[in-house]
Structure 1
Amino acid sequence: MSYIRFRKHYLHIPYLVLAVLEFGLLFAIFSLLTLFLTFAGIDHAPMSVDLVSALLFAVILSSGTLAMGGYLAMVHESLSSLFFRTLVAYCFVGGIGLTVLYMVMPTADPGSANLFWAVILASLAVILLRLVFLRIVDSEQVVRRVVIFGAGDFAASLLEEYETNMKALGVRIIGCIADTPTRSVADDKLLPTPRDFYEFCRQNKVSEIVVVQQERRRAEGGWLPVPELMECKLRGIAVTSGLEFYERELKKAKLDMVHPSWIVFSEGFKASKSRALAKRLLDLVISLTLLTVMFPFIILTALAVFLETGRPILYSQKRVGMLGKEFRIYKFRSMRQDAEKDGKPRWASTNDDRVTRVGAFIRNTRLDELPQIYNVIKGEMSIVGPRPERPEFVSELKEKIPFYDTRHYVKPGLMGWAQLKYPYGASVEDAKGKLEYDLYYSKNHSLVMDFLIMIQTVEVVLLGKGVR
């Protein structure tokens, strides 16, 4: 097993190990640099302060890496992109965090020159560590070898997702075993049906069988080797449903595989009064703090909108909230006043000509969303949750997308899991893709997951992801 489940959220052990190694490396670099400067007669700070400073240095820079999505993004990037992302995480995000920290705790400040060399050395060391990690996690000695039982459309879709995302997770899908005469998988991905499933898995070092069958398999002469799968499971080989595999590896619920019994009988989708109260208190604390910190930016944004296009400064829309209750959401206006002069709602498009120059900037930086702090304080929204949609679009999407209404059993939020994992939604197909992540959040949401989403949203804001 290469994963653990913490508070209903799957965490991959290799990346947890990498995070621990990076933390230790950051702590060691800062400590050794301090010792060197002390023995060289350059720095005379007490060791007790240096150890605290090293610990805080490691915590802040590790948080910067998490905020910039450094752990999973690095597997898709070139060396130059990895270097750039690390510098942004350490020099910019980490730099801001350390600056704020040293304002609060000036005794922990090692000095600008010392801090500069510590960050540079840490960046280079961490990049080397990650390159070694990528080589190891993709090696045959460590990788998890997986067989798919099924060769229909679901299996073909899973193989496509694997090529794009799952290789990075230390997964090696060696092929598919057909369950029906009708196949959607390429011939080079098909494996001969084994006479002895357990012996086949043992010889090929298979650690998991993922059952990915179409609903129509019985009508088409499909089969499911239940005794063989039972033997494999009882002898230590994991047998997993396709839906569970998607949830664990890609943190989403594959909508084509979702069925009502999964929602009814799964351990998730639990409403908790105590958690709702804790989440509400956290929302109030964060929203009031955010309002205080961002108040100067709110004034400047309002002024910029007014100077470019006049009134109204704010733009409001009806949105669908928890349990289908409609409420009015507020934003700084980023489009022309006549953006919907015909009265018909329109999806935002790439390079939308209705967006003003100021509007483009505040959309990229998410400043246009700041008035929604009022909706959070009022209780209509949460800091974290599925993004609320317009009633006109909800009516259409409920007809075209199964289980779409399930997202309305969780309070909508300023930021969400789908916004981290899926680009801007501007069509029914995009809404379907986002719903897969919203379903995962609805099933597994916790305060720990909310904190992870808040931290990782930094990357979305800084890099302008998912903006149209």
Structure 2
Amino acid sequence: MVRLFKHYVPHAVLLLGLIDCGLLLLSANLAWSLRATQIGMDPGLLADRLAMLAGFTFVVMAAMISVGVYGSDALRSFRFAAARLLVAVSLGLIALALLDFVLPGHTFWRSTLLYAMGLSILFLMLNRVVVGGILGASAFRRRVLVLGAGVRAGRLKALSEDPGSGLSIVGYVDMNEGRPLIAEAVARSAISDLSAFVANLGASEVVLALEERRNALPLKDLLRIKTAGVHVNDFSSFMERETGRVDLDTLNPSWLIFSDGFSAGRAVSSAAKRLFDIGASSLLLALSFPVVALFALLVKLDSRGPALFRQTRVGLYGQPFTILKLRSMRIDAEAGGAKWAEKDDPRVTRVGRLIRKIRVDELPQVWTVLTGKMSFVGPRPEVPTFVDDLEDRLPFYAERHMVKPGITGWAQINYPYGASIEDARRKLEYDLYYAKNYTPFLDLLILLQTLRVVIWPEGSR
């Protein structure tokens, strides 16, 4: 994987994206040349339209990221990828057509965009067939040797067997003399030179998956492997990189303290984040006011009670604040105290079901963003009762409050809506990853991919 601004991007995704960028530039240029030829106009110099070509590519690429074109499902299923590509290119072309309407003469003609749309879909589909098929082959997967043959090694084996995985495990070494859980594991005592064994397998990375590390670290072996040019990784760091979440099952305080993350040098990033929140929330409040007013009226007409729902939530550093949402439940929904939402929750009203599905109920939270209690991106704020319970049950739960809560977040786009302790545990793993690796780049990625969750609701309740 390649680390971009503290976030890991698979090599296959990065390569596929770079080729897509080139193909979009080619499509846009061919479309311009074709349309110019049709009307008997000189296409002009390529340098004169580079800005327009780059603008076209940027908008369509943003749309592709937004709808999940580079997600694991799209990478392993051509039909899935084709559907997402059609939606992405269509959304990109609509955005460019609107831009052409607002700024006539500064962008592509709308007739040229139609040609660009057809060529883009053709080239991008071919790229999925040719390059996507090659990247999916085992030859392009990272070759990993696992030191360990217990439960952790078993988890790595299951991870490697996922069709969307970018790794191939070439062997397991049982570092103990007990009975291994991995049947094919080779006993350490049967290997005279572990460094040579790694080289013979052609492994590019070694992962330490020991169940008990105390007094058991094979330091001499690891040093030889490392100095031979092979990357050595511990289990927790490897899982964080591969899954995009912090693994609570193996997490310990020393790893959090000594691993990269929670940088004090992000003060500038935080200031930029706040400026974006102020500007975007002000604009969104102005644009969405008619929509909120309309649905607030529908909420009032549909059921008894106020249109807006106010509730205390836990924010930055554990401080309480009041959240605003369009009411989607009956007014007696929490008569017996706060409860987890359920599938097909009977407390949800008819209009509430609709506004939850299209996420309109979240729009009033933009005011909370403007006042500084929330951000657009961050962990989902929970009610104090749930927080007290989860802090008792889940380790490191309080650490998620070291960043400002958000309307959308890394957990929301990666894990479906959950209403149980186990769901809260899995979402905490994503929240800790965000808190540990926050950058404006990750915020941008989350904001773009939130569109995918809105278009294809994944477990909204």
Could you tell me how far apart the structure 2 residues matched to 1:292 and 1:349 are? 33
Name the structure 2 match of 1:274.
Answer: 268
Determine whether 1:207 maps to 2:201.
Answer: no
Residue 376 to residue 466, structure 1, CA distance change in 2 (3 Å): same
Cα displacement (A) at 1:432: 0.7
Cα displacement (A) at 1:51: 4.1
Name the structure 1 match of 2:144.
Answer: 146
Could you tell me how far apart the structure 2 residues matched to 1:43 and 1:170 are? 48
SS of residue in 2 equivalent to 1:173: strand
Could you tell me how far apart the structure 1 residues matched to 2:440 and 2:89 are? 26
Tell me if structure 2 keeps the 8 A contact 1:64–1:94.
yes
SS of residue in 1 equivalent to 2:105: helix
Residue 106 of structure 1 aligns to which amino acid in structure 2?
P
Determine whether 1:429 maps to 2:434.
Answer: no
Residue 78 of structure 1 aligns to which amino acid in structure 2?
S
Tell me if structure 2 keeps the 8 A contact 1:8–1:444.
yes
Q: Is the deviation greater in 234-243 or in 139-148?
A: 139-148
Could you tell me how far apart the structure 2 residues matched to 1:58 and 1:314 are? 41
Residue 257 of structure 2 aligns to which amino acid in structure 1?
V
Name the structure 1 match of 2:85.
Answer: 86
Q: Which residue among 33, 36, 39 is the counterpart of 2:37? A: 39
Name the structure 1 match of 2:64.
Answer: 65
Residue 101 to residue 46, structure 1, CA distance change in 2 (3 Å): farther
TM-score, normalization by structure 1:
0.91
Name the structure 1 match of 2:305.
Answer: 311
Count matched residues.
457
Cα displacement (A) at 1:76: 5.5
Name the structure 2 match of 1:439.
Answer: 432
Cα displacement (A) at 1:266: 2.5
Residue 344 to residue 180, structure 1, CA distance change in 2 (3 Å): farther
Name the structure 2 match of 1:297.
Answer: 291
Tell me if structure 1 keeps the 8 A contact 2:152–2:210.
yes
Residue 458 to residue 184, structure 1, CA distance change in 2 (3 Å): farther
Tell me if structure 2 keeps the 8 A contact 1:388–1:413.
yes
Determine whether 1:258 maps to 2:271.
Answer: no
Residue 155 of structure 1 aligns to which amino acid in structure 2?
A
Could you tell me how far apart the structure 1 residues matched to 2:435 and 2:180 are? 31
Could you tell me how far apart the structure 1 residues matched to 2:166 and 2:112 are? 38
Determine whether 1:55 maps to 2:54.
Answer: yes
Tell me if structure 1 keeps the 8 A contact 2:326–2:361.
yes
SS of residue in 1 equivalent to 2:161: helix
Residue 110 to residue 378, structure 1, CA distance change in 2 (3 Å): closer
Could you tell me how far apart the structure 2 residues matched to 1:316 and 1:183 are? 57
Residue 98 to residue 184, structure 1, CA distance change in 2 (3 Å): farther
Residue 214 of structure 1 aligns to which amino acid in structure 2?
E
Deviations along 1:7-30, one digit per CA (max 9) or x if unpaired, are: 222233332222121111111112
Deviations along 1:308-362, one digit per CA (max 9) or x if unpaired, are: 1143111121111111111111111111222223x22211112222222221221
Where does structure 2 lack aligned partners over 5 or more consecutive residues?
none
What is the RMSD computed on CA atoms of the aligned residues?
2.2
* Runs of 4+ off more than 6 Å: none
Cα displacement (A) at 1:151: 2.2
Deviations along 1:380-426, one digit per CA (max 9) or x if unpaired, are: 11111111111111111111111111101111111111111111121
Could you tell me how far apart the structure 2 residues matched to 1:85 and 1:232 are? 42
Tell me if structure 2 keeps the 8 A contact 1:322–1:412.
yes
Cα displacement (A) at 1:184: 7.0
Name the structure 1 match of 2:400.
Answer: 407
Name the structure 1 match of 2:238.
Answer: 245
Tell me if structure 2 keeps the 8 A contact 1:179–1:224.
no
Deviations along 1:80-134, one digit per CA (max 9) or x if unpaired, are: 221111111111x213321332233221454444322321221121022023223
Determine whether 1:123 maps to 2:124.
Answer: no
Name the structure 1 match of 2:455.
Answer: 462
Aligned ranges for residues 109-258 of structure 1 at < 5 Å? Answer: 109-164=107-162, 167-181=163-177, 185-188=181-184, 190-193=185-188, 194-215=191-212, 223-258=216-251
Q: Which residue among 368, 373, 377 is the counterpart of 2:366? A: 373
SS of residue in 2 equivalent to 1:141: helix
SS of residue in 1 equivalent to 2:347: coil
Percent identity between the aligned chains?
39
Q: Is the deviation greater in 292-301 or in 375-384?
A: 292-301
SS of residue in 2 equivalent to 1:71: coil
Could you tell me how far apart the structure 2 residues matched to 1:107 and 1:40 are? 19
